[in-house]
Amino acid sequence: MSWVSRLNNLRRFRSRSEDFLFTAEPPRYVAVIMDGNGRWAAGKRLPAIAGHREGAQALKRSIRACRRAGVKELTVYAFSTENWQRPRAEVEALMDMFTELINKEVPELHEQQVRVRFIGRRAQLSKQIRSRINWAEELTGGNREMRLFIAFNYGGRAEIADAAAAAAGAGFTGDEKEFGKFMYAPEMHDPELLIRTSGEQRISNFLLWQCAYSELYFSDKLWPDFDATDLEAAFEVFNRRSRRFGAR
Ligand code: IPE
Ligand code: IPE
Ligand code: MG
């Protein structure tokens, strides 16, 4: 059996948790490091790209769940500036998958009134992906239900370096709030909650500027297995945290 049909068989048995009812009050601004696709695939003797494909399903579920729960901004880490170091076949398969996903899923996101915006260095991306990104941002630009930021060829250090370069040319005077305006998406709020799946407990160059005071939540679930109930568990933990921002 090909890995594609094995993956489809697996999917048939997954709980969708589509109708899950949220009882926890959600944070407004949530960011996610979607990690563990490779290990999910390896555990099932599937190629890494099968894990990424299942990860895309998990992303669809999480977007819907966040929207239903009332999250206003969701920022997801899809591809880092360091991920180019992976085997060429994996990178190429990922790029093809992203192009396909944008084409297929953005119209549905548009129907759900989700505004899609990409953050990251675009110049390194193929012309084809760049054109799909522009198309997605233009199509969904007026939507108000939820904002989805997709970090793609994104690095926190690259973002700060790019912001510094832009600021240097714009007479920047050293004010923190003003510096934030040079970030890739200046309209994005600092995440209140940052979730990372797969048991790894690190930032991996994600939103270094914006996560200064984010609450961190680590889940042992691999990203393709992460569902609405896991999201709710993260919200519950977040609601019990005491956020002080350095004050008493
Ligand atoms: C995250 O899953 C997705 C990307 C980095 C594109 P990984 O592919 O990093 O999964 P693991 O960490 O190898 O399990
Ligand atoms: C971070 O995960 C990047 C994405 C989830 C897109 P990685 O798997 O690349 O991070 P490390 O290598 O474990 O730090
Ligand atoms: Mg990883």
Query: Phi and psi for 211 in degrees, rounded to 5?
Result: -95, 20
pLDDT for the residue 20: 80
pLDDT in tens, 47-72: 999 999 999 999 999 999 999 999 99
- 223 close to 197: Cβ distance less than 8 angstroms: yes
Structural domain contains residue 245: no
Q: Average pLDDT for residues 203-217, to the nearest whole number?
A: 98
35 is catalytic: yes
DSSP secondary structure, 38-75, as one string: HHHHHHTT--HHHHHHHHHHHHHHHHHHHHHHT-SEEE
Q: Which two tokens stand for residue 13?
A: 């048995």
Nearest atom in ligand 1 to the alpha carbon of residue 52 is 3
Instruction: Flag whether 62 is in a domain.
Output: yes
Q: Is residue 204 part of a domain?
A: yes
Residue 205 among the catalytic residues: no
Mean pLDDT value of segment 180-192: 98
Dist. CA 125–CA 112, nearest whole Å? 27
Copy the structure tokens of residue 145.
């239900």
Checking if the pLDDT of 13 tops 60, the result is no
Residues 128, 150: Cα–Cα separation, whole Å: 17
Burial-class residue 231 by CB neighbours within 10 Å (0-12, 13-18, 19+).
Answer: buried
Residue 151 inside a domain? The answer is: yes
pLDDT bracket for residue 17 (50, 70, 90): low
**Residue 1 located in a structural domain:** no
Query: Residue 22's pLDDT is what?
Result: 85
Res. 98: pLDDT tops 90: yes
% of the chain at pLDDT higher than 70: 96
| Mean pLDDT for all residues in the chain | 95
Q: Cα(12) to centroid of ligand 2, in Å?
A: 28
Describe the strand order of the beta sheet including 215-218 as a list of residue ranges. 114-119, 146-154, 73-80, 29-33, 193-196, 215-218
Q: Model's pTM, two decimal places?
A: 0.94
- The parent domain of residue 28 ranges over 24-210+222-238
Say if residue 90's pLDDT is above 70: yes
Cα–ligand 1 centroid distance for 138 (angstroms) = 29
Residues 31 and 131: their CA atoms lie apart, in Å, by 25
Looking at the domain assignment, is residue 7 inside a domain? no
pLDDT of 6: 76
Which domain CATH number covers 110?
3.40.1180.10
Assigned domain for 61 exists: yes
Number of domains in the chain: 1
pLDDT at 15 over 50: no
Domain-embedded: residue 167:
yes
**Residue 33: CB within 6 Å of ligand 2?**
yes
